[in-house]
């Protein structure tokens, strides 16, 4: 199964999403989006496929969000996308893309929605072993 994670190794949620995918038995394509940001069209598709609005995909906790005036409700989707492409730190994370769907892994558990059931059993078995150890 082809899986891509738009990953920030400094982010705990992103690291945990990557670990969950690996526990499920997959080695995803890891895109460190701060080093290799997605093109605007790719970013638009990821956001759309995740069922989010552009504003929901912006990392609002980032200082740049207010510095650039992105908190102004009059900012258009195009303006928000321009800011995200120019400043990839504004892209919320991590996004996970599989053939079963795309999710912004916040909360982390939503990644389970786009992994096959048999892979989730591996994760559940690993969690049971870890708890019982």
C-alpha distances in Å from residue 74, one per residue of 8, 59, 124 = 29, 17, 45
Q: Computed over its alpha carbons, how large is the radius of gyration of the chain? A: 16
- Ranges assigned E (strand) in the chain: 4-7, 29-32, 95-98, 101-104
**Residues 17, 94: contact at Cβ < 8 Å?**
yes
Please tell me which residue in 11, 30, 34, 75 is annotated as part of the active site: 11
What phi and psi values does residue 4 have, to the nearest 5 degrees? -125, 135
Q: Is 94 a catalytic residue?
A: no
Q: Which helix (H) or strand (E) holds 23?
A: helix 12-23
Instruction: List, by residue number, the catalytic residues.
Output: 11
């Amino acid at each position: 199964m082809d899986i891509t994670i738009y990953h920030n190794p400094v982010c705990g949620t992103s690291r945990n999403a990557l670990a969950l995918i690996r526990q499920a038995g997959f080695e995803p394509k890891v895109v460190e989006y701060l080093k290799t940001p997605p093109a605007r069209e790719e970013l638009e598709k990821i956001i759309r496929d995740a069922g989010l609005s552009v504003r929901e995909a912006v990392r609002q906790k980032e200082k740049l969000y207010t510095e650039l005036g992105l908190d102004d409700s009059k900012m258009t989707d195009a303006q928000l996308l321009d800011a995200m492409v120019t400043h990839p730190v504004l892209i919320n994370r991590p996004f996970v893309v599989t053939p079963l769907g795309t999710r912004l892994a916040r909360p982390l558990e939503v990644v389970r929605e786009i992994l096959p059931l048999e892979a989730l059993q591996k994760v559940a078995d690993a969690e049971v072993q870890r708890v019982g150890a």
